[in-house]
Amino acid sequence: MRGRYVTHVLVTGGAGYIGSHACKALKAAGHVPVTYDNLVTGWEDAVKFGPFERGDLLDRERLDEVFARYRPVAVMHFAALSQVGEAMSEPGRYWRNNVCGSLTLIEAAVAAGCLDFVFSSTCATYGEHDNVVLDENTPQEPLNAYGASKRAVENILRDFEAAHGLRHVIFRYFNVAGADPEGEIGEHHRPETHLIPLMLDAIYGKRPALTVFGTDYDTPDGTCIRDYVHVCDLVDAHVLGLKWLQDGKGSRVFNLGTGTGFSVMEVIEQSRAVTNRTVPFEIGPRRAGDATRLVSGSVRAEKELGWKPTRSNMGAMIADAWRWHQTGHYDK
C-alpha cells in the first residue's frame, strides 16, 4: 500500500548541491521530488531522483504550469544565490533572485493551494554575536546581502502565513559539507568559493594554494570558526520538517548545526589527516562579510523533530567530500 502515500514535492534548486541530496532523501522516503531549477548554478546530471522542470524563480507563468502539472503537496525551496563575497559586491542580484524570486514562488504556491513550505535559510541571518550562543531566538542582524535576503524571505513567509495560511518550516543552516556516501552526487559550485572543496582541490593540485581569509580574528588560532554539518544529515532534517508540516504541527524555525565549531586551521589539519597529504595554503586578508564565529547553540531540531545527525563529524565529512572529489566530477 506504499503507493497510496506517494506525493510530489516541488524542490527548487534540486539540481544544486543541497537540493540534489534532498531529492535523494525524499525519494528514499517515498516521495517524488520534482526539481525546478534554472541551471545557472545547478547541474542537470545531478537530477537523478525524479522529474526535471527547467525554469526560473522569477518566471511566474512557468511556476504556475509546474504547480498545475504535478500538484505538489509541498515545496522545498533551496534555489538561491549563496556566496557571501559575491553578495557584498553584487547585492542587487541577491535581492532580486533570492527575495523577488522567493516571493514569486511563494505567491505561486499559495495560488496553487500548496500550503506546506520548507525553506532553506542560514545562520548568516544572525550576523556577528561574539560569545553568544546562537539559538533560534538570537536577534537576526545579518552582515551581508546574502543573510539579509534570507531573513527577508523568512519575514515574507510569516506574512503569508498570517494572510494565506502558508505553513512553513525554516531551517537555518550552519556550514554544509560532505557528499553522498554512495557517490551518486556531491558538491560542485561554479565558481567554487567554499572552504572544503577549495582545500581538496589545492591538495589535489587542481588549484593553487588555499588562501586562509584572515588570521587576526579573536579566536584561539586567529581564524574564523564555523559549525559544519553533513549534507546527508541536513537533508534528513528536511524530510522530518516535511513530515512535521504534514502532521499539522505548524510553522517552526530550526537551526541545523552540531554545536561544535572548527577554525579554518583545524579544518586544514583534519583534511591533512584524512587525505594523508599536505594542504598547500597561504595567509591572506579577511574576506568582507565574514563573521568571526558561527556555531549553533540549539538542540531544538533534535528535541522536537527527532533529528539525529550521524555523519556530521569532520573526518566523515572530509572523507565523503574527498571520495566525491576523486570521481572527477569537478573536472567538468
CA distances from 125 to 155, 167, 192 (A): 12, 20, 22
Closest CA to 27 of 17, 14, 40: 14
User: Nearer to ligand UDP by C-beta: 168 or 226?
Assistant: 226
User: Nearer to ligand UDP by C-beta: 153 or 265?
Assistant: 265
DSSP one-letter string for 198-238: HHHHHHHTSSSPEEEE-S-SSSTTSS-EE-EEEHHHHHHHH
CB of 123 to ligand UDP, least distance (A): 8
* 278 membership: H or E segment, kind and range: none
Cα–Cα distance for residue pair 87/108, rounded to 1 Å: 26
Cα–Cα distance for residue pair 329/37, rounded to 1 Å: 19
Task: Report 252-271 residues binding ligand UDP (CB under 6 A).
Answer: 264
Applying CB under 6 A, which of residues 148, 169, 210, 234 lies at the interface with ligand UDP? Answer: 210
Q: Is 212 in the site for ligand UDP (CB under 6 A)?
A: yes
Residue 146 appears among annotated catalytic residues = yes
Which pairing describes strands 167-173 and 32-37: parallel, antiparallel, or unpaired?
Answer: unpaired
Cα–Cα distance for residue pair 253/134, rounded to 1 Å: 13
Closest CA to 178 of 47, 43, 310, 316: 316
User: Nearer to ligand UDP by C-beta: 166 or 196?
Assistant: 196
Applying CB under 6 A, which of residues 211, 215, 246, 251 lies at the interface with ligand UDP? Answer: 211
CB 17 within 8 A of CB 231: yes
Site string for ligand UDP, 222-241 (x = CB under 6 A): --x-x---------------
Task: Report 274-313 residues binding ligand UDP (CB under 6 A).
Answer: 287, 290
What residue number has its CB nearest to ligand UDP? 224
CB of 196 to ligand UDP, least distance (A): 7
User: Angle at the Cα of 25 (from 21 to 29), degrees rounded to 5?
Assistant: 165
User: Nearer to ligand UDP by C-beta: 31 or 226?
Assistant: 226
CB of 283 to ligand UDP, least distance (A): 9
**Part of the chain binding ligand UDP (CB under 6 A), chosen from 95-103, 104-112, 192-200, 315-323:** 192-200
Q: Is 195 in the site for ligand UDP (CB under 6 A)?
A: yes
CB of 205 to ligand UDP, least distance (A): 16
Cα–Cα distance for residue pair 129/294, rounded to 1 Å: 8
CB of 195 to ligand UDP, least distance (A): 4
Per DSSP, 286 falls in state P
Task: Report 117-176 residues binding ligand UDP (CB under 6 A).
Answer: 175
Question: Of 17, 70, 126, 146, which is the active-site residue?
Answer: 146
All 3 cell numbers of residue 245?
Answer: 508540516
User: Nearer to ligand UDP by C-beta: 150 or 252?
Assistant: 150
Catalytic residues: 146
Task: State the residues that interact with ligand UDP by CB under 6 A.
Answer: 84, 175, 193-195, 198, 210-213, 224, 226, 264, 287, 290
